[in-house]
Chains A and B, each alone.
Chain A
């Protein structure tokens, strides 16, 4: 039994936790941005998928890794803009638009992938981001290999999270975004364009989701394959609710979740064939549902979430 406890004292476990958490953190923060502005973005799963594809393809076609991230960022932003035109400007159903965006983004990504690489049975590989050693810190026992020997993309993701905190909590734009999701009429009364604020939030949020997808193909793995997002987007949406729409709690939630996921992979190896692997793979999804139930009691949705704003109309 002691082996099952020893897992959490290995550097490999903590390094894996960070690796699994990264795409989730990016996607969850992206969804927090959208929902705080009052827009549910169910396009997340598809946007992550096309971000993973476009980022990977850009590098495969000869560009460097950072250009790959940028390409994912742009495609995510474009799909965010599409979502915003439908839900913010035209007031279409946020649920159905999001499902439509997920269907469009993932199928378009698969279509383009097949178009460029028609006959690839084994997915071709790129040289992804390599781990770099942070001077001095990486030589620390345990802490070094656990936290200071990651890829540049990982550190970039952490910077992005810090940027998102700053944006949400310390800038006029962040305040406007939160107000657009709580009381858009009051924001309009301040002379601020609610449509524009919501659009900026959805575009930025969607760009982050796509970058989260690209983390999978450019840093965690080295190839793109169909279905590689595998529900991570939906898990991110559950995490947003678990985190009560707060970026800092979203960070904690994603880390906790990734830790459990990293743990189950190792426990699975220890348990051998006693418990079928499918049950281990179910855990993330079941845990997400459990997390939502736990959070349900203290859940306080942004007041204007799902409600389209129409100029000159009272709610």
Chain B
């Protein structure tokens, strides 16, 4: 079990009203499950009040990096002490 930090950015930070949280997790899946449990419904509710409806889990509509590496590029799902998860919404407009 590792103590990791989750850092929220952009719209997620302003809607959740916090820039970070800590989690005790074994691996990425465990961390994402806790993230959804602790912040998923709160984020969706906050967004809903602003007229923004999002379906699915927090991980489904976020870009997530572990220590600066996109989750999709990770070679190992294991977490170690002091790891940092960065999470923010994809902004793709121009």
**A and B assemble together:** no
Chain B contact residues, CB within 8 Å of chain A: none
